[in-house]
Structure 1
């Protein structure tokens, strides 16, 4: 067998086998799928640029890509969808490690959510944006920042569910089996959404558009896209948890 194309399997006690590529082939594959890493970094950079610059995010994304290659084995047409979540997951793990949303910021977001729920009970309906800003005393910029952070937090939760379970994958399942299970679960979750909610998640997860770009595509305000994405993700996450 040509050394450049050699693939072996590394068996570690208690763990599933990991594909081991020849160094030259591994480097070629990393270069081949680098555009996928760059698209995901571009998508996440708007919410993460204060903590990590693009070069750092790309390096972390490449490590996620490498882990995906070793877990999946020889890439095929379906590899990209398998790798996306792991690349995103590697970057988001590093952001969490650096505490990119400090405790004070999280506490403030929690207070705003409580205030919105309180206002909704008073009104007997979902409050409008202007009503929320008047009730909370937030400026338009502060309110939009809250909505964006709230949506991003929900996205992280859905990513974690899709990537890690809970209890979705058997210990001996292959990368291909994991991709098929993940895609089936996500497809089922999308069926629980209305057309607009479904489109937003498709644009985010399949087309790697940022929330701001989705707003432009759908001719909606940034605030409305954040609200709809949070709503869609809450429904999808509930569906996945009920079936875990």
Structure 2
């Protein structure tokens, strides 16, 4: 992918008046952090529908990287985390804009979620996959698709919360202090999770593995990883929301 021109947009001639970098320095930084864009695209491409191909996702991610550089300023050891959230957020925003899950699919997802809740109440516990398939009548493939979409929604909500938190830090008169406080808060949020839940979010956010890759690493099924990741994200999101 050519970092000089993305979706017909020539960055070499479109340097922001607010940028602290020269056009040449901006190009160099874009190429330096391009692997970050590619890792995030690889991570997300396994968890969303094929409404966008990989190249388009990389282009949008590169736009998020450029915006990160212009808002953040000179990169330091914290820049990768800040940029990662904006890159991921830019791609997810575009997927939402394109309505990557048609209304019928969204409605079916809600119905299936309600059916699983009903079964859970009847059993007094979380149902096994086979029990869900028998109760709902869906195929194993359809259930896997549901789990991927369900986990994706949870990831989007946490990404948005983390991104908003970082936005509050940038431009603050005490930006470094705010970022340190935010890092501590995130560490505290992870502390409320079980060891396996913390590992899953660490592999996802810090090592940028996809849910499918995490399933292979932990030798668990895709379905189980989706369930655990959603559970972990719900706990972390609740903690961060309560603290804000």
Number of equivalenced pairs? 228
- Number of the residue aligned with 1:98: 98
TM-score after normalising by structure 2: 0.88
Q: Tell me, which stretches of 5 or more residues in structure 2 are unaligned?
A: 1-15
Could you tell me how far apart the structure 1 residues matched to 2:218 and 2:140 are?
21
- Residue 61 of structure 1 corresponds to 61
Distance 2:20 2:95 in 1: 28
Rounded Cα–Cα distance in structure 1 between residues aligned with 2:179 and 2:115 = 40
Q: Does 1:52 align with 2:52?
A: yes
Q: Deviations over 1:172-216 (max 9, x none)?
A: 427655643443332111111000000000000000000000000
Q: CA 1:49/1:132 → structure 2, altered by over 3 Å: closer, same or farther?
A: closer
Q: Please report how far the alpha carbon of residue 38 of structure 1 lies from its aligned counterpart in structure 2 after TM superposition.
A: 0.5
- Judge conservation of contact 1:19–1:72 (CA < 8 Å) in 2: no
Q: Is the 8 A contact 2:48 2:152 kept in 1?
A: no
Residue 238 of structure 2 is aligned to residue 238 of structure 1: yes
CA contact (8 A) 1:189 1:239 kept: yes
Contact 2:69 2:75 in 1 (8 A): yes
Q: What residue ranges of structure 1 are gaps of 5+ in the alignment?
A: 1-8, 11-17
**Cα RMSD over matched residues?**
2.0
Relative distance call for 1:191 and 1:176 in structure 2 (3 A) is: same
- How many Å separate the matches in 2 of 1:38 and 1:171? 24
Aligned equivalent of 1:15: none
How many Å separate the matches in 2 of 1:187 and 1:126?
28
Say whether residues 1:173 and 2:172 are aligned partners: yes
Counterpart of 2:202 in structure 1 is: 202
Instruction: Give runs of aligned pairs for residues 51-200 of structure 1, distance below 5 A.
Output: 51-165=51-165, 169=168, 172-173=171-172, 176=176, 179-200=179-200
Q: Secondary structure at the match of 1:125?
A: coil
Q: Is the Cα–Cα contact under 8 Å of residues 30 and 66 in structure 1 kept in the other structure?
A: yes
Give the Å deviation of 1:107. Answer: 1.2
- Whether the 8 Å contact between 1:82 and 1:179 is mirrored in structure 2 is no
Distance 2:84 2:181 in 1: 15
Distance 1:181 1:92, change over 3 A: farther
Give the Cα–Cα distance (whole angstroms) in 2 for the partners of residues 100 and 130 of structure 1.
28
Once residues 179 and 72 of structure 1 are traced to their aligned partners in structure 2, the CA distance between those partners, rounded to angstroms, is 12
Secondary structure at the aligned position of 1:169 is classed as helix
